[in-house]
Amino acid sequence: MNPRIEPLTVPLKRGAMSRQMQDHLYLAWASVSKARAVPYEAARPHEWLQSFHAAVEAALAAFEAHASDAESPGSRLVAWRASAALEPKVARQLDDHGRLRQRIHALVDSTRRQDANVLGQVVRANEDAALLELYLSLHHRRLCDLFADAGLISSGAAAAVVTGGR
């Protein structure tokens, strides 16, 4: 079972109001989790495909919003590049975006249309989604660690965000 995560309460963009923010990375993770939860019925494979595909497309849109916020000039991550202590962690976060984007696009593409071997497609898509869910949670955890290292949240709060408060 992949770790549960909770939305961050500190915005990526400096000056943004916490109450107005959305944690797009959390939304991407939640959309992949939703895709994995779509039940498969052999009599209705097209319904599974439509629901699964819609969920991973939502994950892609949310992840693109996260990456856009994180890579924008007003982003805390961009500002933290100037910090010798934070720069290596920031570089890893930003480098992850390309790999995660590629994985999400591959999952969207693989569920665009029904394969002849539907059951194989279901298994592969769910395996890929499980890995993607894990990678997104790891990316989220590293982001929480960065926020803790920068003093914006406590280490305990960062751990609670990643474990769902448990």
Structure tokens at 80: 């933290």
What pLDDT shows up at residue 16?
A: 62
Contact indicator for 59, 100 with CB cutoff of 8 Å: no
CB atoms within 10 A of CB 85: 9
Q: Which pLDDT tens digit goes with each residue over 33-50?
A: 999 999 999 999 999 999
H runs (alpha helix) in the chain: 24-36, 45-71, 76-80, 87-110, 118-149, 155-163
Cα–Cα distance measured from residue 61 to residue 67, given in angstroms and rounded to the nearest whole number: 10
Question: CA 163 from chain center: how many Å?
Answer: 15
Regions of the chain with pLDDT less than 70: 1-2, 15-21, 155-166
What pLDDT shows up at residue 5?
A: 86
Contact indicator for 67, 136 with CB cutoff of 8 Å: no
The SS3 assignment for 102 reads helix
Cα–Cα distance measured from residue 19 to residue 9, given in angstroms and rounded to the nearest whole number: 8
Domain extents in the chain: 18-163
Structure tokens at 124: 């592969």
What pLDDT shows up at residue 155?
A: 65
